[in-house]
């Protein structure tokens, strides 16, 4: 069985580097999500790093700093500002993701990134299980063992592609030069669909609930046994459910 190339050193600890990408327009929900991830954990975790990755024009506010300190009680945390400049849709999203992956890749090459498996998330995502991180870490390890360096939710429309909330090895950036740029008028996950599909393995643990609104507790309870993470929520019903259900009142 093939194993994907992932590291410059013989071994690195398992786990995930969770890269939370945000900008001025979604800072508040992004910080709410970050707090939720910390509050889910009953004790500090050595296998998870959380990167607060903000857009080039987003300042470090009191809210993000307070959230950073709050999350630092449970995870290794870092604050990074993107050096790639892009605004508007989809260019702002394109450059934010490219900036995040390139930053993780450079840190990996320097040897300062302990966990090269990077889970890229945004404010519209939410865990459905308290063990979401362990499940996704194990799922990505299975991808690595099968020779794949990307794990994500496979979408069929408008063309087959992985949703942007995916796990990718930092090394993908260096081996796939086509990822280094995206036209400002095209969404990066669609433009790079072919390369990411070649590198990728589909998982049902990440679910794209495109434009989901007013999600009921019954629906989320039904999805949670088979889904660790949902993305593309368009209101607060998912995170409200998660705060009630997964944090034990924190």
- Which residue(s) pair with 154 in the sheet? 162
Label residue 1 by pLDDT band (50, 70, 90).
very low
Residue 105 · residue 169 · CB < 8 Å: no
pLDDT of residue 13 exceeding 90: no
Q: How far apart are CA 171 and CA 168, in angstroms?
A: 8
Question: In the 8-state DSSP scheme, what is residue 185?
Answer: T
Give domain limits for the chain. Answer: 16-246
Cβ-based burial of 45 (10 A; exposed 0-12, middle 13-18, buried ≥19) = middle
pLDDT digits (tens, 9 = 90+) for 76-93: 999 999 999 989 999 999
Residue 196 · residue 164 · CB < 8 Å: no
Task: Kindly report the number of other CB atoms within 10 A of residue 226's CB atom.
Answer: 11
pLDDT of residue 249 exceeding 50: no
Instruction: Write down the H helix ranges in the chain.
Output: 27-40, 62-71, 91-110, 132-145, 172-175, 188-191, 193-199, 217-223, 237-246
Whether the upstream peptide bond of residue 90 has omega within 30° of 0, thus cis, is: yes
pLDDT digits (tens, 9 = 90+) for 152-176: 999 998 999 999 999 999 999 999 9
Label residue 113 by pLDDT band (50, 70, 90).
very high
- CATH architecture entry for 16-246: Alpha-Beta Complex (3.90)
pTM of the model: 0.92
């Amino acid at each position: 069985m093939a194993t994907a190339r992932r590291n410059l050193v013989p071994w690195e600890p398992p786990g995930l580097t969770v890269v939370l990408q945000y900008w001025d327009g979604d800072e508040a929900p992004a910080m709410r999500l970050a707090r939720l991830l910390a509050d889910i954990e009953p004790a500090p975790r050595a296998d998870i790093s959380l990167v607060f990755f903000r857009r080039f024009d987003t300042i470090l506010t009191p809210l993000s700093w307070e959230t950073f300190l709050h999350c630092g009680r449970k995870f290794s945390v870092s604050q990074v500002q993107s050096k790639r400049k892009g605004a508007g849709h989809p260019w702002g999203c394109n450059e934010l993701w490219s900036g995040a992956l390139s930053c993780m890749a450079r840190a990996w090459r320097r040897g300062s990134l302990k966990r090269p498996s990077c889970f890229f998330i945004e404010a519209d995502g939410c865990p459905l299980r308290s063990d979401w991180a362990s499940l996704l870490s194990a799922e990505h390890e299975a991808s690595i063992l099968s020779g794949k360096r990307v794990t994500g939710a496979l979408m069929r429309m408008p063309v087959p592609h992985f949703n942007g909330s995916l796990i990718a090895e930092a090394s993908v950036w260096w081996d796939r030069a086509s990822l280094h740029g995206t036209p400002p008028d095209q969404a990066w996950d669609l433009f790079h669909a072919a390369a990411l599909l070649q590198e990728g393995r589909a998982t049902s643990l990440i679910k794209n609930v495109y434009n989901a609104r007013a999600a009921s507790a019954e629906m989320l309870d039904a999805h949670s046994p088979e889904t660790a993470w949902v993305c593309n929520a368009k209101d607060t019903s998912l995170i409200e459910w998660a705060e009630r259900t997964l944090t034990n009142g924190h």
